Structure 1
Amino acid sequence: MSSVHRSVLFSALERYGSILLVFAAMAVLSRLLSPAEFGVYAVISAILAVISASYQEIGGANYLIQKIALSAADVRTAFTVTLMFSVAVTMAVVVAGVLIARFYGQESLGTGLAVAAISFVLTPFSATITALYRREMQFGKLAVCNLIANTASMIVAILLAALHYSFMAPVWGGVAGNFVLAALLATARRDIKLFRPSLAGATEVMGFGLYSSGISLINVFYNLAPQIFLARILDFSAVGLYSRALGVTQVFDKLIGQVLGPVMMPAIFQQIGAGGELRLIYLDAIRSLTAVYWPSLAFMAIMAEPIILIWLGSSWLEIVPLVRLICIGYLALFAACLTYPVLVAAGRVHDALLSSLISLPPSLCLVFAASFWGVTWVAASMLVTLPFQAAVAIGFIAKRLGLTWSELFAALWKSALVSLMSSIAALLFAVMISLDEIGMVSGLAAGSACAAGAWLTGMTVTRHPLLEKIANASNGLWDRRLNRLFDRRNTQKFAPPSRGGMFDRSVECRSRKT
């Protein structure tokens, strides 16, 4: 089993475990917090995410991963630069929180921003170690630490929400999770020398980081702009509805994108170092991504109503059309997690920034205009903006890698057929649920099983390459376990017997005399 396969496996275990925690937390918090309370929390998260994106890539993970010869001094400098920016930004957020609260007419918003900003000081410690583990493809340790931290965050948020802490409950939960993560990673690494201040080579760190931060900032701001616009133009209830719909959709998006995202860049550089061709790596990656990404989003769009009703409760049924629109728009982003690492590997990191500058400002204008018409129109705007962004990004990659549209079609048609077969199976049960021919829970369970069966049938009929990869990875993992068991038994079987006591000491004495 290759290191890439093991990394993907551990990343999947972590992300899927985290998604289960998110499922549970969303189900509980949706019944403890109102849409307006959740809307205030969403605005706090959006503001801090935009601020974080503006500087945390300066000396962040991507710099440490892509650097070919990485020294201890490079790591210390990257950490120091990030920490300096983090402390400065934390103080600025605390001061500016009062003004932001007045802008939105929500005085308690300032308190929430000040508390949430504590995470900025913790992030450099966890981010530096995370980057090193990703570079070394040690995703097992990351998985354990992240799952424990996410569990702590969920427990704190739910307990405080039950104690009527309102929107501050998930805010404190996030801070608790970041503290636990930083502590666990520092304990696992056991190398406090990484955190010794250093500014040697800071110019190089900041030079690369400016591009990465620019890309991160414009993308994060675009993704979170609807919450910021809606809070000012409409109200916090609209923000809560939109944020919850987006969160539900992104849970299924995380099944793929966030599993492969942390692995993607180090895996690409590893394959290139082994002689792989970037063009073929990209085509193979989108072939595998779409086979799971498209059917998952299509299933969510079709089964949105029973999923929302069972998961979040009847008070959130208003987001069903929003979820469907967002899912359809997200289908275009099948290669989004590949764009940045592929362009960096091609030596064209500035193309990633240029792509965002071309596609996101017009998309942002459309979202802003749609926000005056209501939250449904904001979701509907994604049917235009997301395909446009995907086309621009793929166009840049195709130009740099020498790809043709016919090659892209050849890589995607099997996944499209598999998605269609899976969607038809899910649609049959969705219709039966709407006609009350079958119960909500049983219909969702049966629809899931039939959609999975149709997906497997489609993968087999089309001879999709991903099916062979899954089989090879599973066999590799099984063979590895058998080899370890066999080696352990042989070691125990043929190990020389130990007599202990005086015999061992006499042997030691004789060896000393000799």
Structure 2
Amino acid sequence: MEELGRRAARGAGVTVAAQVARVGVQMLSVVVLARLLTPADYGVIAMVLVVVGVGEVVRDLGLSTAAVRSKHLTEAQRSNLFWANTLIGTVLMTALLAGAPLVGHLFGREDVVPVARQVAVVFFLNGLTAQLRADLQRRLRFGAIAAVDVGSQVVGAVVAIVLALAGAGVGALAAQQVTQSFVVLVACAVLCRWIPSRPRRGVPMAELWRFGGSLAASQIAVYIGNNVDALVIGTRLGPTSLGLYDRAYRLVMTPVSQVRAPTTSIALPVLARLVDEPDRLRRYLVRAQLALAYPVMIGAALLVGTAGPATAVLLGDGWDGAAPLVRFMATSALLQTLAYVCYWVYLVFGLSSLLLRYTLVTVALKVVLVVAGSTWGVVGVAAAYTLAHAIEWPLSLAWLSRHAPLPGRRLATGALHVLGVGAFVALAAHAGTTLVHGAAWLVLLVGLAAGAAALGAVLVVPAIRRDAADVVVVVRAAVSRRR
């Protein structure tokens, strides 16, 4: 068990380092591409990706997670899962190629049709990749996964920038999606060195399908809830408004997701080994929440406080309307992160049916709030999106605490500490931006310095110092080279 903890910690260290690199690549591509493309270009690709995202959940059907969490996965089961993902990906690719005009009609934009057809091949590529990547996760090859993720981001960004410079417009963004998926497929195939056998009957697959199906249903509901804002904006307010919203969303959520999502591949196999040790599991969850939430909080709070100059520096001219959206998105990112450990618990205890019921409730809440918020335009949608997550976080703790050994009170206390520090840092950063006038980069630097000073000052509070000590323990374990 001690060896498992060290492997998980080393995996976390490698993953965090890789995610920092990915965030750097993505931020650089955002800065460059925002100056080469228009909000309308981003609006068109966002319309397509709303549809593609739903298809991606269906294409995976929860089978990757089912494979990762399975304690014993036979060669025949693994091969059957591979062919299932590939078949579904092929069907979805064909459906989007044929149905692209319907996507264009949904948004009232003919220029959506060719872009949808360009991106359709992503379904097929990702279908081939799904079980290869799952195998790397099962074997705890976090370094390999990290290298693949960073490499695909770099190649995709380079291709997009070159095509944008050549005047490809939104086609550059479509090519970026396809390139990333292709690079991941090739790299995973080389690393796995595995050739699936032919599909076989009589293989025990029922439990894998049952878990994956319930998980996929909840993931579809989550995706609809997370993207109802883009759907409403795209259909009611047009591509320019959607482009502004999408850039604000991607500017904040993409780096946060890159930090947050891979932690599941580390936490899930570790938690699966702790299900029979509830006390150790609870301690792991509390520290994991702090280690995940505090770094996200620092970035989110600084961005909330300096959204105006940060948007001007990162996106350039023509994106002024994104600043208030960035503030709401940063707040939402932190609230989502606080609830993330609950998602791990659903998975590790196999509570996919319970997760589905909870998700349907929260999605309904989000849809109602977003549709109502759209009355006040794109900013109203962003505010409604944030309000929904503010309600979902405590609801998630209360819901799950009744069904699993979740340390609800300790998680809630830690989360309140994070939110309190975040509010203090954001206010200080915003106050700093009011002290100087001039170039946006200078205002941004002063705001960041004020926020950093506030973060240092808050360490005088004993409870926050204890939180920081827990985070340091996790970080030290992550960078340890002991074996």
Normalised by the size of structure 2, how large is the TM-score? Answer: 0.91
Deviations 1:43-69 (A, max 9, x none): 01111001211231342x210111111
Residues 22-171 of structure 1 aligned to structure 2 (within 5 Å): 22-59=26-63, 61-171=64-174
Are positions 1:445 and 2:445 aligned together? yes
Distance 1:327 1:252 in 2: 11
Residues 198-277 of structure 1 aligned to structure 2 (within 5 Å): 198=200, 200-254=203-257, 256-272=259-275, 277=280
Deviations 1:175-216 (A, max 9, x none): 111111111111111122x36434533433322211111111
> Residue 471 of structure 1: CA displacement?
5.3
What stretches of structure 1 move > 6 A for 4+ residues in a row?
Answer: none
> Residue 457 of structure 1: CA displacement?
5.1
Paired position in structure 2 for 1:292: 295
- Once superposed, what is the RMSD of the aligned Cα atoms? 2.5
Distance 1:218 1:320 in 2: 29
More moved, 406-415 vs 133-142: 406-415
Change (3 A) 1:314 1:83: same
> Residue 456 of structure 1: CA displacement?
4.6
Change (3 A) 1:368 1:418: closer
Are positions 1:9 and 2:13 aligned together? yes
Distance 2:429 2:346 in 1: 37
Distance 1:206 1:107 in 2: 38
> Residue 461 of structure 1: CA displacement?
4.8
Which blocks of at least 5 consecutive residues in structure 1 are unaligned?
Answer: 484-514
> Residue 160 of structure 1: CA displacement?
1.2
> Residue 22 of structure 1: CA displacement?
0.9
Paired position in structure 1 for 2:469: 467
Are positions 1:422 and 2:402 aligned together? no
State the aligned residue count: 476
Q: Which residue among 19, 22, 32 is the counterpart of 1:18? A: 22
What is the letter of the counterpart of residue 312 of structure 1?
A: L
Distance 2:92 2:231 in 1: 20
Paired position in structure 2 for 1:362: 365
SS at match of 2:34: helix
Change (3 A) 1:103 1:358: closer
SS at match of 1:315: coil
Change (3 A) 1:449 1:138: farther
Q: Which residue among 399, 402, 409 is the counterpart of 2:402? A: 399
What is the letter of the counterpart of residue 182 of structure 2?
A: F
State the structure with more CA Rg: 1
Asked if the contact 1:129/1:189 (under 8 Å) is kept, the reply is: yes
SS at match of 1:54: helix
What is the letter of the counterpart of residue 169 of structure 2?
A: S
Residues 307-346 of structure 1 aligned to structure 2 (within 5 Å): 307-346=310-349
Change (3 A) 1:476 1:93: closer
What is the letter of the counterpart of residue 247 of structure 1?
A: R
Paired position in structure 2 for 1:497: none
% identical equivalent positions: 20
Structure with more relative contact order (C-alpha pairs < 8 Å, separation 6 or more): 2
SS at match of 2:59: coil
Change (3 A) 1:118 1:24: same
Change (3 A) 1:305 1:464: same
Which blocks of at least 5 consecutive residues in structure 2 are unaligned?
Answer: none
What is the letter of the counterpart of residue 45 of structure 1?
A: L
Normalised by the size of structure 1, how large is the TM-score? Answer: 0.85
Change (3 A) 1:111 1:464: same
> Residue 340 of structure 1: CA displacement?
2.4
Distance 2:477 2:148 in 1: 27
